Structure 1
């Protein structure tokens, strides 16, 4: 595209049937802070992040990924993106306007290639945040979101063309093809990724912790609390980040991570990693190989019934 409007990821929003347990999971175990609670929607902030919230949980009979939100540099970037998307026939959910969600701001929503709701905004009020201290094993910020897709190649091309994302690395299996596309919108190795799956769904969401010790302490806390760990602790090759994956009360996969690679835009060259090599999934060899069980867990429940349907909030 002619310009790259996206500066960073803001938040991802979930609708869940087991609302109370999801809220309890984030609040009392995962280490997020309730920023606002209206009874049916709870906004959660990360203590180290200036974002008003990094995830939002909505009470619903149906489970779904409500939306993924990204930041833009300013109001003019929001307007320009909306104009470009509209001119290319992409369906807008709303025109650029003042947002009515926590923190306000100026933005709009639209459907991506497969019908997920995406929000882009600027001028959102920042929250008072703080430095996360040594041994404080709570998320600093939202790191990235991974989306499952049955047509990942088309999704990659769509996000590159329309939102200006850049491909950092690819995870490939010689007999299956490309499994993962890691996409960046800033110097962080990836703020989102697209994974090959049987349907559209949230593959996982990842939260950055302060450092290795905090990451291990956080992982241990979740294990002791009895939440199901499906993979980790380990360290990926692409992105060079650590990983421990847990299943939340509604069957979504949540990751604790740290030390995600920062890249130099002028010198970076994408690598194709072989998924059959053990070091690709886990450099340390501590988390175990990526197997069919883990893959199926991360397929999650299909969002197909909710595609091209905007959330009510």
Structure 2
């Protein structure tokens, strides 16, 4: 048993780590002064808020530093059957798109992963289907650079029926004015930080008060990468919520914490505290949570990229 400083999702606190049933567990208990202290700080495993599990070797997640992933586009019946040891899987189910819209024409889109929505009735049917399949959010595509997008009225209709099911709408917005439009129409999350164009400061302020952005900065090359990083920097400065996400499955990348995405978030001026909030560690006090050890003398000195699993060997005195 050792004392430990841990991150509870909001702040750093002191607790006790111990070995229980062969696994390291964290207790929310003030350590006694004589208890030896673990060398480093403890968090739950991290969250990737944008993945596509059908496009990667998802079994490799069990040995990664990710404790939760959010799938934003796949076959809902396949996704509901996936299970990865010590990793929580949330999913949106199928992409909802306009007839002929992105990604209905993409070879990479798994069979059964797209629903083309033509009217409010088909919108209601698709959202109800996703909810019944266990979706925790709805994914809508609005990519005017690649094909047709929903009208304002139909987008609003999707938001209304999603809201009736208690599901937030996450939008892939691409093309001139699409990021601005989908947030005005009720999307609460952008699947990608805006990369088509630089948003003006008034729009940044509006978005910071209205929506969260999932980063996915490292999938871009310049000039889109530079545009996205500049938007994220100003969005974060305006108080907006930035969530770490990689679009895992979009080209080669580690099935783990992505160093290129972390570097891009730092380039967007997220300090270590903001970066850790973006990584949204799972609750370390949950008995099912995997725990990570971040070497460092204090929370201010740690680097998430140095994180490794906390093991029984770390409790030896």
Of Structure 1 and Structure 2, the greater helix share is in 2
Of Structure 1 and Structure 2, the greater strand share is in 1
Higher relative contact order (CA 8 A, sep 6+): 2
For normalisation by structure 1, the TM-score amounts to: 0.31
Q: Which has the larger radius of gyration?
A: 2
